Structure formats: C-alpha cells, structure tokens
Amino acid sequence: MLESIRREKANVEWISETVANLRKRYGGRYIAVRDRRVIDSDKSLDDLLSRVRGRESVTVEFITELEYLWLP
C-alpha cells in the first residue's frame, strides 16, 4: 500500500514538472501515467479508464489545452 502511494506521488510530481511539454502533445486529453511515463491518452475519460482499469499504479489526469492564469 505504501509503495502504491509513493508511485502515485511520483507520477503527480512528474506531471506537474512536465505539464508544459505534456500540454503540447496531450492538451485537451486525459493521460494515464505509470512510473512517470505516459502509457495511454484519450479525449474520453470513460474510454481511457476502460483500457487502464486493473493496472497497478496508474495515475489519470486531464491536461488542459491552455495554461490558466487566475487574477484576483
């Protein structure tokens, strides 16, 4: 269980660090990441989940097409 949490954390950190590059290739899509590598992507969350369901330590995130800037 602890190892699974560590892998999830590593995937989330990697996505955060590389989001600019991911946005160029996967903007507007959901990505599935395992061991800090994109293993699949799709515009449909349901379709992506159906393909990765049951795989261990997979993180799924939506990559926006644009970087958002929040102003007060």
pLDDT tens for 27-54 read 999 999 999 999 999 999 999 999 999 8
How far apart are alpha carbons 38 and 60 in whole angstroms? Answer: 10
- Domain ranges for the chain, please list them: 2-63
Of 15, 53, 17, residue with least CA distance to 33: 15
pLDDT at 4: 84
- Residue 68 — pLDDT band, cuts 50, 70, 90? confident
pTM score over 0.85: yes
